[in-house]
Structure formats: C-alpha cells, structure tokens
Structure 1
Amino acid sequence: MSLITISRTIGCGCGDIGCDVAEGLGLELYDDERFRKEAVKIGISHEDAVHLDEERPGFFHRLFHYKPYLYRELMESVVYEIAGRGSGVIVGHASQVLLHDFDCAFHVLCSCPEASRIRRLSEKGGMGEERAAEIIKKADREQDDFLKTYYHLDWKDPGLYDLVINTEKLGAEYAARLIITVVRERITECGLDSLFAMSALSLKKKARAVLIEEGFNINLLFLDVPEDGEIYIRGLASTVEDAAKIRSVLEGLDGVRRVVSDLVVY
C-alpha cells in the first residue's frame, strides 16, 4: 500500500486526478470533503473542521484567541492521523510539506502554464478570461501566503515534489496513469517506525491544539510522544492550578493512556 500527496493548481484540469489515482491503486481518497469528516471523527468539532483549508487567515481572525494557529495544529493532526494508517491519497492541506521527510510518501504537483489555466477555467466556468485570470491569481496567492506564513516555503519549489506534471502536454488522464505506474513500480510501503512517527505527530498536534483552545501559552510548553498513547510535557505554568489543569486536559484526550508532567511553576 502507498501514501501519496497530490497538489494542484486551479485550472490545470486535474480536478478528478486524486479520485482516479485512488481508484486505480485501490486506496482511500482524502479530498476536502473526506478530510473534514476525518477531522470530526478524531474529535475535532465540526465548527473547527470547516476552517481546515489552505487559506491564510485575515488580520482579525489571526488575533482572535490564536485561532489560526489552532487551525494549523488541527490540520496537521489530521494529516498525520491519515498518514499514520500507511496508505491513501491526500489532496492538498500542506501534506507535501508535512510528510516531506518520510521516504515512503510520494509527492506530486500537477500544473500547467498560466495561459492554459486561464483558458480552461474560462471555458469550463463560462466566464471571461479576465475574470478567470483574477480567480487564478487569487487562488495562487492564498496558497502561496499559507505556506509562506506557516512554513516559510514556496509551494512552487520543485524540491517539495517527487513528480511535477505539466497537464497541458500530458493531460489529466495520462497524468493519473503515470502516477499509478510510478507508485506501483518505485514506491515502497511505510515501515513501522514511520507509521509510529506519524501517529505520534498526530497526537502531539492534537494535544497542542487543545491546549491552545484552553487558553494556555503554547510557547511555554513542550510536548513529546515517546511511546504510543503517552505524552510527556515540560515547560512553565503560571500557577499550580494551571499545571494540574494542563495535565487533566491532556489526560482527557482520546488515545492518551498516560501523561508524564515535568512542568515548573514560575
């Protein structure tokens, strides 16, 4: 079984490529709709799940209860939760960045020249090319801002991907067949160490998210998951009561069987 991430640009004609690849390889597809369902399944509220996208939050949104940073932790938790299952096709959600260090993950970017994207979107959407160009520029800018804001990376950097496909020359159908062929012939399954690391990252991100939501300063807290279901936390708490609450909050998380606290009250 294989783990694949697919990134794509609007108007490149690859709207169904994730579905085609998943079907061809017999894998689960994690597109936007499925991603949100998975988020709710692992304990994220529906209200928070609808914000798990790649659009950079606005100024007031960024100020309100650290919510944008909460969304980032939640999104990353879901990506790692899915990846920890060892197989699937994940579309978007910065998955090419989050899973880049795992050799068993295969990262694909589908795009084509801007003129081709404008023409395709104009024809498909029944709009003028000027309007299509505006939509494409806005979508690219939002994706660019998201990765630069949170990961200091350029999504157009080919180093983030194992395969970059120009759909103007190859077409979406052949692109899907190409991905399927490469995965079958060249990509190995995720080992146990990688699967544990992904699951541990998911739990860590979920723990960080719940602490942010409870109003704790996450910059003063450091978490680790040394074993399955175990959280080790160290750092600073403002009061004895806060230290006890932090521990209690973590103990209430699904999947946590033990919390080791080394918090210092300052």
Structure 2
Amino acid sequence: MDKIVTISRQYASGGRTIGKLVAQELGIPVYDSKIIKDTMKRTGLSEQVVEDAEQRSVNAFLFNLAMGVDDALNHMKLIAEVERDIIEGYVQEGPCVIVGRAANFLLGGDRKSLNVFVYSDTESRVAYAHENYDVTERQAWKMIERTDKERQMHAMSFYGKKWGDRDYYDLMLNSGRLGIEQCVDLIIAAAGK
C-alpha cells in the first residue's frame, strides 16, 4: 500500500477512531494532533493560537484583531504554511493516514492519496459524543453545530473549498449507518491493501 489516506470528518462521527484503526491495520503512521504539536514547536505559538487558526479561522482572528492583536492574520498565514510543510514532510516519509487538518485540500489531489469523508446523522453523533467525550447530550448538540461550522469556515478561508463537498473526496462513508469497523474495512479495501 503506497497511498496517503486523508480522513476529513464531521465532529463525533468517529473519523479519528477510524483513522487510527486504518493506520493500525495497515501498519502505517497516523497523524492528527501531532500536527498541532509540530506546528507549535516550529512556530513558537501556543496550542490555543494554533487551534484557533485552524478551527475558528477568520471569526476568532477578526475578533482578536478588533481587540488589538494585530498579528492574528499573520499567525493564520504562518500556521497554514507550517502545517503544509509538516504534512508534506509526513507524505515524503511514505504511506500514512492524516486525520483532519484539511489535508485533502492541502495535498491538492496531485498525489496518490485516498481522500475520505466520514459523516453520520446528528442523533448518532450526539450519542457518540455523549459516550466518548464525556459531554451531556445538550453539550454534544452545541459542539456538533459549532465544530462543523468551524471546519466549513476553515476550508473556505484557507483553501477556498467547500468542506464535505463530494467533489473533493474519493470515498464518503456514513459511520452511523455502516459502523466504525465496516468503515475501516472499506477504507482499507479502497486504499488497495
């Protein structure tokens, strides 16, 4: 298997778990929160600043600008460039699974990559968040709405692309209907184990 697997996902769809299991089955590394840590090391920025740039994109940084943090947009640009370099470095090392970080957009589709989008119905996502993230059902609803909106804004702000649009993915999987294990099996089959 010489592919790079990128997994974009709706919040609480199980995409992170699916990515880890795919990597484990294929015996290749998975990159997710390590990208944030590596970005922090390279830029000297705090985890909060990196996460705000990724998830909250323009809204959080416009708020920061209004509050007098005039280098917020420079941080956004720096973080995007550093993440691109980091992910390109991972890809150069060989096959891997990259969860999130809009990696499918970042890689530009010119590589041997399998770009996957994991989604689910809202009720299944609320149940998943409640069970796995130690939040109430009400909190889960709010987090789902907020996080999905942030991911949409991030993709549009940084790449000018619509997150979740089928034109940017090779495989779209409904984890609520298929279940985690079947999603893993389908990704492995599509990657050409």
TM-score range, shorter chain: 0.7 to 0.9
Please name the residue that 1:80 is paired with: 88
Query: Does the CA contact (< 8 Å) of 2:7 and 2:15 recur in 1?
Result: no
Structure of greater Rg: 1
Corresponding residue SS for 2:97: strand
Residue 58 in structure 1 maps to residue 66 in structure 2? no
Please name the residue that 1:19 is paired with: 20
Looking at structure 1, the residues matched to 165 and 114 of structure 2 have their Cα atoms a distance apart, in angstroms, of 16
Deviations 1:53-87 (A, max 9, x none): 42114222573162211111111121222122232
Please name the residue that 2:174 is paired with: 166
Distance change in 2, residues 1:162/1:37 (3 Å) = same
Deviations 1:98-149 (A, max 9, x none): 1132241111111111222123323444544322111111111111111111
Which is worse superposed, 91-100 or 127-136? 127-136
Aligned length: 182
CA RMSD of aligned residues (A): 2.3
Q: Which stretches of structure 1, 4 residues or longer, exceed 6 Å deviation after superposition?
A: none
* TM-score where L is the length of structure 2: 0.83
Query: Does the CA contact (< 8 Å) of 1:100 and 1:160 recur in 2?
Result: no
Looking at structure 1, the residues matched to 108 and 43 of structure 2 have their Cα atoms a distance apart, in angstroms, of 28
* TM-score where L is the length of structure 1: 0.61
Residue 112 in structure 1 maps to residue 110 in structure 2? no
Please name the residue that 1:9 is paired with: 10
Deviations 1:3-59 (A, max 9, x none): 111111122133321111111111111121x2245447xx71443676444211422
Gaps of 5+ in 2: none
Looking at structure 2, the residues matched to 117 and 143 of structure 1 have their Cα atoms a distance apart, in angstroms, of 16
Q: What is the one-letter code of the residue matched to 1:101? A: G
Query: Does the CA contact (< 8 Å) of 2:120 and 2:175 recur in 1?
Result: yes
Query: Does the CA contact (< 8 Å) of 1:36 and 1:49 recur in 2?
Result: yes
User: Could you say which structure has the higher strand fraction?
Assistant: 1
| RCO comparison, higher one (Cα < 8 Å, 6+) | 2
Gaps of 5+ in 1: 186-266
1:83-98 paired onto structure 2 within 5 Å: 83-98=91-106
Give the fraction of aligned pairs with identical amino acids, expressed as a percent: 26
Deviations 1:202-255 (A, max 9, x none): xxxxxxxxxxxxxxxxxxxxxxxxxxxxxxxxxxxxxxxxxxxxxxxxxxxxxx
